[in-house]
Each structure stands twice: as C-alpha cells, then as structure tokens.
Amino acid sequence: MKKLFQNAAADIPASVVVLLVALPLCLGIALGSNAPLFSGIIAGIAGGIVIGLLSGSQLSVSGPAAGLTVIVATAIGKLQVFEAFLLAVVIAGCIQLLLGFLRAGIIGDYVPNAVIKGMLAAIGIILILKQFPHLVGYDKDYVGDESFSREGENTFSGIFNAINYITPAAIVIGVVSIFILMAWEQKTIKSKKIFQLIPAPLVVVIMAVLINQYFISFQPSVALETKHLVQLPVASDPQMFISFFTLPKLQYLNNPDVWITAVTLAIVASLETLLSIEAVDKLDPYKRVTPSNRELKAQGIGNIVSGMIGGLPLTSVIVRSSANVNSGAKSKLSTILHGVLMLLFVMFIPGLLNKIPLAALAAVLIYTGYKLAKITLFKEFFSKGWDQFIPFCVTIIAILMTDLLIGILIGIAVGLFFMVRSNFRSSVFVVNDQNNYLFRLRKDVSFLNKPIIKYKLESVPANSYVIIDATRADFIDQDIIDTVNEFTYHAHLKNITVDIKRSFSKPMHLLFSAPDKVNESA
C-alpha cells in the first residue's frame, strides 16, 4: 500500500483531470449506446477501481469505450431488456478471464509500431475534429463519438454545420479554456511548484463554471442552456441513487442472442484493450511494459463487476489514458482515485458537476488530441522511410474514415505488405558480370520469393556459369529447393554450368539435387 502512494503528489492531480475527462465521456457513450445514462458512470467507476487495482498497467485507464457503442446499441435493441444485456456483459467478462488464462494477450505484440503510433495520431485528430463543434456550442453528437458518420452527418459536415450554430457563451468559454491550457504549458508557469500541483483542466473547469454563472446572473439571454452542460442523473434521496444500479437476470441464460452478444463483446473489447495498452506503453515516459495476459484477466473481472451492478462493457481507453499520461501520472493510483472520485462526486455533488460547460471539456480534449497528433510525430515517421511512413498514414486515414478496429486491421495489412516486400527484396541477391551469374540466398527464403528466383534463373542466357550461394540462408522453403532443382536438371540443355554452394553444417532441410553437370560444394 505504501508503494501505491509513493507518487501521490503527481497522481492525485492527474486523477482529477482524468475524472473531468471521463465524466462526459461515460455519459456520452451511454447516450450513444441507447443505454441508461448512469450505466456509463457505473462502468467508469468499475473501470477505475476494479481494473485499476487488478491491472499490471501503471497508466492505462479503463471505462466504457466509444468503439463498442454500435455493438452495445444493436445488442440492447435486439435483446430489448437491459437486464439481459447486462448478463451478456458478465458472460463476456468470464470469456475474457478465460482468454487471460489461455495467454491470448500475446496477440497485441504482433501489431507494428507504425500502426500503434498511427492509432494514437488518429485518436488525436479525431478528438480535435469531433470536439470542435462542442467547443463552439454545437452539441448534436454525444461527447466521445468517434464514428465518421452518424445520422446523415459525418465528421467534416459536422464541423461546417457547427459554424451555423455557434453559441457566443460557448465560444468565450472555449477560447478562454484553450488559452489557459496553453499558458499552463509555458516554462515560466511550469517552473513554479504551485502551478505543478494544480492541474490546468481543473482551472479550466472552474473558470468555465464561473463565466457561465456570470452570464446567468447578469446576461441570462447569453448564458448556456442545459443541453450545453454536463447532464448527470441526480438522485433526490439514497433510495433513488441505489435504484440507478441494476442487476442482470439469469432467466435469459437460454437466450442465444445473449451468448452471441457476449462472445462479440469479449472479442472486440479484448482486441481494443490489447491495442490500447500497447499504445499507452508507448506514451509512458518510463516505457514500462504491461503484462497483457494479466490485463485480460483484469478486464474480465472488471466486466463481470460492471455487468453485475448495471454498467456498460469496459475496455482500456486511449483518450482517458493519454489524458492521464499528459497530466503527469506516474502510477496506477491516478486510475484508481479517478474511479473513487467519480463514485463520491455522483453520490454527493452531482448538481455541481451539472454546471460544467461541455465547451470547457471539449477544450481539454482538443488539447489532448493536439499532444497525440503533433507534427513532430509525422516528421519522425517520414524520416524513417516509406515502409514506416505509409503504414502510419494509412492507419490514420483508415481509422478516421471507419473506426478503430477496422482502421487498425487495414494498417496491419499495409504494414504486413511492406514487411513482406522488404523481406522479398533482401532475401535474394542477384548479380551478373557478362555470362557469370551469382544467386545469393540470404536469411529466410520463402515461397514468396519463388516467382523472382524462377524468372531470374530462366532468364540466364546459354553458355553461362551460375553460382547459387545458399551458405548465408537460415531457412529455404521447399518450393525454392524444387525450383532450383528443376533449373539444374535442364540447365545443361543451354550449356549452363551450375555451381551450388551450401553449408552442410547448418541443420536445415536444404536438399538440392546434384546432377552430373552440377557442382555442389560446402
């Protein structure tokens, strides 16, 4: 316990920032999922406390994820009873727990770095584009929406439509909020200890509330309407607060749609979590590595708890996690405290939270997005070469135009193409001097190299001397061996002399045939 609190000076302010970011996201994702609003808050609390305590990640923050809204909304519509959906969440958690014991967490290790960094940059750009309408007072989409299109409006048309619905008070609050966030980053302010202890987003929220209260008192016509503020369900008494929590009903266990939903949630939530913790580990200043199998177990238990008390399914979430990192958190204490604070705040001061303007929170998210998608990141990958820059850019575009998982899969496919292309080029080296040809096989030569080897061998003119050097190859596919053997058997018809060099000491299945007119040496 002492170790948990050793970074409290950094983690406590960070937990406040994560709370401010998480509250509207939890509500917005519940709204977008057609679920009870408080189910998003329950998920946020469970994600912070339960997963925070069990996870091996120091900086990852879990909660309801925007990437699951379509699945959740469809499932709730199909099952029709929310308690049946909660049962699916509990079963999904059990499946995740099983996946953790089966050591399925290794899947995340196969995602290329260019794709992971592309995902972070894409999330940053999405935050900037999606939060701009909220910054100016156009709150048609729920806070936290990451989809490209919704209800006949896409990300870009939403920005243009926002210009027609500008709210003066939101603009004032948004501009002041951005200014405070930028000023807080200046060296003259950062060097002073008092400013290090007070997180800038907290100052932004307090200032935004005061500005709107001023408008309410002196210029009511300009003040923000309720729809432009955080809208947290408020309980009039303890009994009503307890009624916000819902239990799943076991009577729906025999419903096949419950099991289909559970399996879908388990797979998608697990993939999103594994991708998120890979990304968060890249953001971690200390580059600590999260135990992926332990994370799946923690997520499973978190989803079981969330489903048992009426919450939405959970994943590790990039937006909250990046806000946690950017706020200077150093350990999991920040994640746990944000869950504790969320529980206390919704219990005792929900009315105060409902005074927070969405424009101020949009400014915080936009600034978080800017830090994720800095120009220096694009320059870094451009300098690494096209085989890194193109998968990076394709991942960004694919996520922007589709969603997180589809975009990641497209990015992985492009990254795999460049990996195969690089291996394809470097595995076979061909050089010739007049009628002397050297074919050098290096590293791993797979069947993918067969077309180029076959073409080059058959292009050798008559009366030539060919050396096939396999001494530097660690592995040679049987298809390549067959191709070389076929060439050696008919090479004499063109009066081609073939000399095969291979290392007999290497334990590999390199079984080149050696006809009479073919020399084979070690």
Query: Tens digit of pLDDT for each residue in 470-494?
Result: 888 888 888 888 888 889 888 889 9
Q: Which two tokens stand for residue 406?
A: 């589809």
pLDDT score of 503 more than 70? no
Q: Can you tell me whether residue 42 is helix, strand or coil?
A: helix
Burial call 20-53: b when 16+ CB within 10 Å, e when fewer: bbbbbbbbbbbbbbebbbbbbbbbbbbbbbbbbe
Cα distance between residue 85 and residue 79, in whole Å = 7
Q: Which two tokens stand for residue 34?
A: 């057609």
Q: Is the dihedral of CA 114, 120, 123, 129 positive or negative?
A: negative
**509: confidence class by pLDDT, cuts 50, 70, 90:** very low
pLDDT score of 305 more than 80? yes
Query: pLDDT higher for 504 or 473?
Result: 473
- Mean per-residue pLDDT over the chain, rounded: 90
pLDDT confidence of residue 508 = 41
Query: What CATH fold (topology level) applies to the domain 434-521?
Result: Transcription Regulator spoIIAA (3.30.750)
Cα distance between residue 366 and residue 128, in whole Å = 5
pLDDT score of 378 more than 50? yes
* pTM confidence score: 0.85
- Point out the least confidently predicted range of 314-328, 365-379, 486-500, 505-519: 505-519
**501: confidence class by pLDDT, cuts 50, 70, 90:** confident
Compute the average pLDDT of residues 345-371.
93
For the beta carbon of residue 12, count every other beta carbon within 10 angstroms.
17
pLDDT confidence of residue 190 = 63
Query: Tens digit of pLDDT for each residue in 159-204?
Result: 888 888 899 999 999 999 999 999 888 866 666 666 667 888 999 9
pLDDT confidence of residue 109 = 84
Cα distance between residue 479 and residue 449, in whole Å = 9
Number of H helices, E strands in the chain: 23, 9
- First CA to last CA across the chain, in angstroms? 63
> CB of 410 within 8 A of CB of 383?
no
- Point out the least confidently predicted range of 73-87, 254-268, 279-293, 434-448: 434-448
> CB of 256 within 8 A of CB of 36?
no
**353: confidence class by pLDDT, cuts 50, 70, 90:** very high
Cα distance between residue 226 and residue 506, in whole Å = 75
Cα distance between residue 356 and residue 231, in whole Å = 9
pLDDT confidence of residue 235 = 87
**517: confidence class by pLDDT, cuts 50, 70, 90:** low
Q: Which segments of the chain belong to CATH 3.30.750.24?
A: 434-521
pLDDT more than 90, % of the chain: 66
Q: How many CA atoms lie within 13 A of 269 on its CB side?
A: 40
Amino acid identity, position 36: P
Cα distance between residue 151 and residue 155, in whole Å = 11
pLDDT confidence of residue 516 = 54
Query: Tens digit of pLDDT for each residue in 399-410?
Result: 999 888 899 999
